[in-house]
Structures are given as C-alpha cells and as structure tokens.
C-alpha cells in the first residue's frame, strides 16, 4: 500500500495496517484482498459485484473490517454486500469509504448493504465516510442500508461523515420483529457547496420492538442538508427520533421527523432543533484565550463527538 492508501484506511477504518481476523479491502472498484476467519466467512457474489459475510451462530468477541477506498478520478463503483448474522452471534463490523480525487472527473461509490440479523444476535456496525484531494471532480458517496432484525436481536449503527464528501444520498430501511432493538447514530458535517440527504424508514412490527434514531449535524458555508426519518409503529413498541443541527454561514437545513402509529400501544416520540452556535459558549472559550475560530471548532467537535 502507498501513503495515500494508508491515510485513507486510517481515516475510514482506524487501520494502520491489515488487521488480524476477517478482512475485505475494495479499491477503485475491485476487490484487492479478502480473508475469512474460523467463524466469519467472506465469499464473493457470483452474479454481481460484492460479497456475502456470514457470522456463524454463537460467535463472540470477533470483528470484521471491510473498508473501501477510491484513489483515482472517474471511478463509478457499485457494490452489493449481504451480512448474515446467525443466532446468538455478537460481532463488530467496521466499514467505511474514502475517496481521494485529484482529477477533474467525479468519483463515486454506491454501496447497497443488507443485514439479516438472527434471533438474539448482537451487532455493532461503524461506517465512516471521508473525502480529500485537490481535483475539481466531485467525491460522491451513496449508501443504501437494509436491516432485517429477528426476535430479541440488537443492532447499533454509527454513521459518520465529517469531511470532504461533495454529495451523499443515504437511504436506510429497517424491519424489527418482537423484542428487537435498533439504535442509529448519524453524525454529519457539510461545508462549501456540499449536499447531504438522509432518508430513513423504520418499521417496528413485533411486540416490544424499540428504536432510537439520533442525528447530529453541522452545516457550514453554502451547504445543504435534508434529514427525513420515519418511525412506524405496527405493534406495541417504543421509538424515539431526535434531530439536532447547528447551522452556520449561508447553509440550508431541513429536518422532517415523522412518526406513525398503527397500534394503540405504539409509543413514538420525535424532537428536532436547528440553531446557531451558542454565543455564551463562544464568549466563555474566548475569555480562556481561544480565538473565535478555535472556539467554534471546539464546540463543533464536542457536538459531533
């Protein structure tokens, strides 16, 4: 790997070298390295680009890393990944995509991920998106996520996009059976003329299913953000949707949380807030010797942490 590859892997997957255990690396639209472990099997799809990841029943304290990096201009990559998390498994999945574009053509990665989570299984999924490069070509990332949760399963998803992505369209769809619990944390920052849209539909279909959706975002300069989460209660269930945003410069933010109850014991709550950085916080930090720019950076980093 060259210096750019290593920097991108560190940015999107916190990797300084190829990790031990299950691992899959995709670069510039091609699978370059793939390794299974005793309990986590990674196999290439036969009919389309992508992989199938199977975590065997009862697997504990294991992880799989599957970063994607693009280091050339003009790449248009589409990949399909299916995750099969068998009963009683507990696994950490670290994904993410980084684009280094120093050319005049756009580079794009569209990932379609489907999670099939078995009974009593636990999964934590971490996905980071990052862009860099001094070219005029756009850096585009469009993730689609489908989540199918069996009884009493648990899924925590953390999605982070902090820098350098010119355009992103995020689509998330989930179905929860009885006792299933889904937690989604989305952290996002846009600047310049960047655009970020996030659509979610969470269906709580089983008794005592629950979901918590939290979005924290910062929009700077002339960037645009739209966040549209929908929680649908079709049984006795609980859901909470929270959208908090900081707006700066000439940015535009739309936050449209929607809740729907189709059962008399569906308990669903939403809240949304958009505002500027608190002046009192700025002044407090400036009295401690920070410049206005340094104070803003501290506040934003704490907000997105």
Give the per-residue pLDDT at 305. Answer: 82
Under the banding of pLDDT at 50, 70 and 90, the label for residue 44 is very high
For residue 153, CA distances in Å to 88, 181, 209, 235 come to: 8, 6, 10, 17
Average pLDDT, the chain: 94
Q: Which residues of 98-123 are buried (b: 16+ CB within 10 A; e: fewer)?
A: bbbbebeebbbbbbbbbbbbbbbbbb
Give the mean pLDDT of 181-186: 97
Give the per-residue pLDDT at 15. Answer: 82
Under the banding of pLDDT at 50, 70 and 90, the label for residue 247 is very high
pTM above 0.85, yes or no: yes
**Tens-digit pLDDT profile for residues 80-99:** 999 999 999 999 999 999 99
Give the mean pLDDT of 28-42: 95
**Tens-digit pLDDT profile for residues 119-142:** 999 999 999 999 999 889 999 999
Which of residues 5 and 116 earns the better pLDDT score? 116
**Tens-digit pLDDT profile for residues 188-239:** 999 999 999 999 999 999 999 999 999 999 999 999 999 999 999 999 999 9
Residue 17 has pLDDT above 80, yes or no: no
Residue 1 has pLDDT above 90, yes or no: no
């Amino acid at each position: 790997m060259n210096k750019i590859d290593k920097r991108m892997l560190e940015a999107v997957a916190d990797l300084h070298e190829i990790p031990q255990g299950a691992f899959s690396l995709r670069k510039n639209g091609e699978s370059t390295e793939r390794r299974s472990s005793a309990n986590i099997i990674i196999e290439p799809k036969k009919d389309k680009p992508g992989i199938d990841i199977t975590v065997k029943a009862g697997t504990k304290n294991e992880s799989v890393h599957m970063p994607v990096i693009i280091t050339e201009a003009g790449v248009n990559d589409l990949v399909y990944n299916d995750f099969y998390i068998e009963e009683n498994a507990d696994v950490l999945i670290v994904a993410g995509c980084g684009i280094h574009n120093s050319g005049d053509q756009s580079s794009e990665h569209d990932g379609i991920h489907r999670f099939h989570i078995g009974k009593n299984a636990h999964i934590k999924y971490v996905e980071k998106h990052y862009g860099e490069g001094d070219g005029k070509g756009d850096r585009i990332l469009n993730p689609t996520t489908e989540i199918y949760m069996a009884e009493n399963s648990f899924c925590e998803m953390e999605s982070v996009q902090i820098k350098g992505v010119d355009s992103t369209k995020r689509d998330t769809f989930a179905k929860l059976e009885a006792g299933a619990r889904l937690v989604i944390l989305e952290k996002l920052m846009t600047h310049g003329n960047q655009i970020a849209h996030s659509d979610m539909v969470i269906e709580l279909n089983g008794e005592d299913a629950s979901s918590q959706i939290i979005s924290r975002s910062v929009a700077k300069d002339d960037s645009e953000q739209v966040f549209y989460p929908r929680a649908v209660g079709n049984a006795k269930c609980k859901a909470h949707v929270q959208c908090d945003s900081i707006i700066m410069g000439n940015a535009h933010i739309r936050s449209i949380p929607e809740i729907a109850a189709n059962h008399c014991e569906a308990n669903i709550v939403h809240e949304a807030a958009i505002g500027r950085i608190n002046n009192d916080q700025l002044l407090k930090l400036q009295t401690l010797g920070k410049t206005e720019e340094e104070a803003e950076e501290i506040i934003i980093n704490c907000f997105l942490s």
